[in-house]
Chain A
């Protein structure tokens, strides 16, 4: 039972354009969501998070949008840069427990 799904295995974007990565979840008990970025041979690094009481959180070039009714979140990167090329994972958690449930990841490639 995949509670967090990233349905696009890969995304290719031109430098300077917007990258939009999508994530869907099924468990209504999740009340916060995170995006992690992973380079080869490294562990995931935290990018940005959002509480379920908000619908948007912004940090520099990164914005996360949450649509609770649709159980959908997205990460927008604008403008995209070649250094953003990595695997992006969305993850979900609950404030009453510690574990995170991750999606399968989306490989983002930003072309110069």
Chain B
């Protein structure tokens, strides 16, 4: 596709369940980012990948959160034992590389609701 694609667009899950959120970046983009946006706030950094490896995972809030990008393209954000506080829009972005003049393109997000 032409842009960053995220699936599902909406996910409702029960507290304590496991969820996976998928991101398909723009073809050829080596850098991939996950952000989380709560109501009334700006996107909050979670993790970014350069190729297959996590270059910076300092934003993951705790060990219930994990992300992979095994072939350097599609990425999956995994959340174990979900809590109501995990409810947010999870945004994925990709870019050709990192730094100035390497614009990050965002997907439309996955709205996660934990009930």
Q: Are B108 and A95 in contact (CB under 8 A)?
A: no
Q: Are A44 and B106 in contact (CB under 8 A)?
A: yes
Min C-beta distance of A100 to chain B, whole Å:
7
- Interface flag for B2 (CB, 8 Å): no
Residues of A within 8 A of B (CB): 4, 6, 31-32, 34, 36, 41-46, 49, 51, 89, 91, 93-105
Is chain A's interface secondary structure helix, strand, loop, or mixed overall?
strand
Q: Are A97 and B56 in contact (CB under 8 A)?
A: yes
Q: Are A45 and B45 in contact (CB under 8 A)?
A: no
Min C-beta distance of A104 to chain B, whole Å:
5
- What is the size, in residues, of chain B's interface with A at 8 Å between Cβ atoms? 30
Q: Are A49 and B101 in contact (CB under 8 A)?
A: yes
- Interface flag for B112 (CB, 8 Å): no
Q: Are A95 and B99 in contact (CB under 8 A)?
A: yes
Partner of B103, one of A49, A101, A102: A49
Per the 8 Å Cβ criterion, residues 67-115 of B in contact with A are: 91, 93, 95, 98-101, 103-109
- Interface flag for B42 (CB, 8 Å): yes
Beta-carbon nearest neighbor of B107 in chain A: A43
Residues of B within 8 A of A (CB): 4, 31, 33, 35, 40-45, 48, 50, 55-56, 58-59, 91, 93, 95, 98-101, 103-109
- A45/B106 contact (C-beta < 8 A), A32-B99, A32-B100, A99-B56 known: yes
Q: Are B55 and A44 in contact (CB under 8 A)?
A: no
Report Cα–Cα, A98/B35, bound state, in Å.
Answer: 12
Beta-carbon nearest neighbor of A5 in chain B: B42
Q: Are A103 and B55 in contact (CB under 8 A)?
A: no
Q: Are B106 and A95 in contact (CB under 8 A)?
A: no
Q: Are B59 and A99 in contact (CB under 8 A)?
A: yes
Beta-carbon nearest neighbor of A41 in chain B: B108
Beta-carbon nearest neighbor of A33 in chain B: B100
Partner of B104, one of A42, A97, A100, A105: A100
Closest CB pairs A-B (n = 5): A43-B106, A102-B42, A98-B98, A32-B100, A95-B99
Min C-beta distance of A89 to chain B, whole Å:
5
Partner of B91, one of A43, A49, A91, A104: A43
